[in-house]
Amino acid sequence: MRTVIAGGHGRIALRLEQLLSSRGDQVAGLIRKPEQAGALLAAGAEPVICDLESAAVADVSRHLADADAVVFAAGAGPGSGEARKDSMDRAGAELFTEAAERVGVRRYLMLSSMGADREPPPETDPVFAAYLRAKAAADADLRARDRLEWTILRPGRLTDDPGTGLVRLAPRTGRSEIPRDDVAAVLLALLDEPRTAGLTLELVSGDTPVTEAVSAAAA
């Protein structure tokens, strides 16, 4: 299996790349900066230079042409303003989705955000509100493409605590936190469970082993 990950240098993406490569899968990560390549190589992934904020859909399509699955795990990141939330978290995601559809990739995982399914309250920080709206728009664009077997994953507050392998995965979980290790493990399990196609799932720490939680969600 070959998986291509947008945002290949992200903290969840690097964990997922390590998991994929360690079991013998091929994995490539799209990155913006050549200096990020070393981290991907160390994780067992092929670094591919591709800036989703400036690339044409034909360029992105070329990088996805031999993929069995794709994962969108990119984002403008901390310190970016409202404009980049739109140009990366929305437009970058939509470009990646369009490219996947054009080349016939079926399996698509979207790493989204809890809270992206509702309009942010008036008191929300403007930049965070722009982020949530961008994620909501990207999710809506993905849902509208019936040629993709998509799953949208919306984790709670991310931490760098060691993963426990125990999660709660459901359409609604309530707000809580989740280690990035466990998010990567759930993404891996979702890639292996095509029956989760068409589902939008929230994810927080819980008491169910990852594979059992994914199987239950699929059922």
Q: What is the pLDDT of residue 54?
A: 94
Query: Tens digit of pLDDT for each residue in 128-146?
Result: 999 999 999 999 999 999 9
Catalytic residue list contains 131: yes
Dihedral class, residue 69 (left if φ above 0, else alpha if ψ from -120 to 50, else beta): beta
Model pLDDT, residue 79: 81
* Structure confidence by residue, pLDDT tens digits, 115-131: 888 898 888 999 999 99
pLDDT at residue 20 tops 90: yes
- Residues 159-215 pLDDT 10s: 999 999 999 999 999 999 999 999 999 999 999 999 999 999 999 999 999 999 999
Spatial contact of 136 and 89, defined as CB atoms under 8 Å apart: no
Structure confidence at residue 76 (pLDDT) = 85
Structure tokens at 210: 């990852």
**DSSP 8-class letter at 84:** H
The pLDDT value given to residue 9: 97
Whole-number average pLDDT of the chain: 96
**pLDDT-derived band of residue 78, with 50, 70 and 90 as boundaries?**
confident
Percent of the chain with pLDDT strictly greater than 70: 100
The gap from C-alpha 31 to its chain's centroid, in whole angstroms, comes to: 14
Q: What is the pLDDT of residue 127?
A: 93
Q: Is the pLDDT of residue 67 over 90?
A: yes
Catalytic residue among 131, 155, 188, 214: 131
Distance separating alpha carbons of residues 99 and 22, to the nearest angstrom = 27
Residue 206: the pLDDT is 97
- Predicted TM-score (pTM) of this structure: 0.95
Please give the biggest Cα pair distance in the chain: 48
